[in-house]
């Protein structure tokens, strides 16, 4: 019998589009740490099928690069919500949570978004210097989240663009 790890970290973005590579790079670094109780999933974008990945989880973290929001990142709680992405080929994390609630007739697990600030998303571009700096700050936060896998600990770490050394 396959046991489902209690923590799901879902990073999405296109590694060939400059700063959109932030989430895949963060997951690659986390994978090297082989953290017990954590499953890592990466894809180019969120889709309706990803709602199934949330089943049996205690906590879920979505990671994405964001042109808006504070640098180095924002870390916030997500709520299930049907939005305009619900019927498109690319969904928001809130829409994925909404689909989970619809297909399971229960609330989704507590879910969070780590939006790491990026600046340049052109095809074929490397990670920008600013994004690399923000990625390092986000990696510090990710290590803290993985070290204390309780919802209460994650709630205490919700910040907007704060130096992670001070969290």
Q: What is the mean pLDDT of residues 93-119?
A: 95
Count how many domains the chain has: 1
Q: Residue 2 domain-assigned?
A: no
Query: Chain-wide mean pLDDT for the chain?
Result: 89
- Report the CATH number that the domain containing residue 79 is assigned in CATH: 3.40.50.1450
Q: What is the mean pLDDT of residues 4-27?
A: 95
pLDDT tops 60 at residue 16: yes
Domain of 71?
7-166
pLDDT tens for 38-67 read 999 999 999 889 999 999 999 999 999 999
Q: Alpha carbon of 66 to those of 4, 35, 63, 111, 134: distances in Å?
A: 29, 26, 10, 18, 11
Q: Residue 103 domain-assigned?
A: yes
Q: Residue 110 domain-assigned?
A: yes
Q: What is the mean pLDDT of residues 133-162?
A: 88
Q: Residue 81 domain-assigned?
A: yes
Which of 15-43 are b and which e, b meaning 16 or more Cβ less than 10 Å from the residue's Cβ?
eebbbbbbbbbbbeebeeeebeebebebb
The pLDDT score that the predictor gives to residue 68 is: 87
pLDDT tops 80 at residue 88: no
- Other CB atoms within a 10 A radius of the CB of residue 88 amount to 13
Q: What is the mean pLDDT of residues 110-135?
A: 95
Residue 122, classified by CB atoms within 10 Å of its CB into exposed (0-12), middle (13-18) or buried (19+), is exposed
Q: Residue 93 domain-assigned?
A: yes
Q: Residue 1 domain-assigned?
A: no
Query: Tokens 């998303």 map to which residue?
Result: 121
Alpha carbons 140 and 47: distance in angstroms, whole number:
28
The pLDDT score that the predictor gives to residue 2 is: 59
Bridge partners (DSSP) listed for residue 76: 113
Q: What is the mean pLDDT of residues 5-9?
A: 96
pLDDT tops 60 at residue 129: yes
Q: Residue 30 domain-assigned?
A: yes
Q: Residue 141 domain-assigned?
A: yes
The pLDDT score that the predictor gives to residue 159 is: 59
50, 103 in Cβ contact below 8 A?
no
For residue 51, give the nearest of 94, 6, 21, 89 by alpha carbon. 94
């Amino acid at each position: 019998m396959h046991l489902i790890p209690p923590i799901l970290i879902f990073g999405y973005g296109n590694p060939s589009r400059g700063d959109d590579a932030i989430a895949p790079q963060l997951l690659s670094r986390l994978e090297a740490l082989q953290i017990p109780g954590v499953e890592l999933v990466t894809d180019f974008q969120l889709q309706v099928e990803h709602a199934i990945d949330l089943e049996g989880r205690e906590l879920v973290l979505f990671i994405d690069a964001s042109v808006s929001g504070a640098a180095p990142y924002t870390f916030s709680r997500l709520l299930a919500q049907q939005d305009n992405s619900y019927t498109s080929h690319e969904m928001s994390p809130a829409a994925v949570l909404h689909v989970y609630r619809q297909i399971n007739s229960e609330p989704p697990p507590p879910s969070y978004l780590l939006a790491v600030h990026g600046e340049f998303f052109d095809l074929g571009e490397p990670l920008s210097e600013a994004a690399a700096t923000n990625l390092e700050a986000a990696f510090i936060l990710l290590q803290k989240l993985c070290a204390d896998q309780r919802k209460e600990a994650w709630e205490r770490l919700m910040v907007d663009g704060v130096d992670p050394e001070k969290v």
